[in-house]
Amino acid sequence: MSNFGFRGYRTISQHLNDLKKENFSLKLRIYFLEEKIQQKFEASSDDVHRRVSDNKSE
């Protein structure tokens, strides 16, 4: 393999590694955002149930 070919391979390999790291970071971010949304939904749902119960007891 020529010096140019090796340098090209290294560049592509580094770019691929960078993309893999970015992909992992984005997957992690999506996971935590989904968790946050789920927690807000559950809290909102609990609040609705509490309000309905309060209104029934009045």
pLDDT 10s digits, 17-54: 999 999 999 999 999 999 999 998 888 877 777 777 77
Listed in sequence order, the residues at least 6 apart from 9 whose beta carbon sits closer than 8 Å to its beta carbon are 1
The single-letter DSSP state of residue 54 is: H
What pLDDT is stored for residue 53 in this prediction? 73
pTM > 0.75: yes or no: no
Which residue would you say has higher pLDDT here, 37 or 7?
37
What pLDDT is stored for residue 23 in this prediction? 99
Q: Which pair of tokens denotes residue 20? A: 């893999």
Long-range CB contacts (within 8 A, 24+) of 25-34:
none
Fill in the amino acid letter for 8: G
Res 57 pLDDT > 70: no
What pLDDT is stored for residue 50 in this prediction? 76
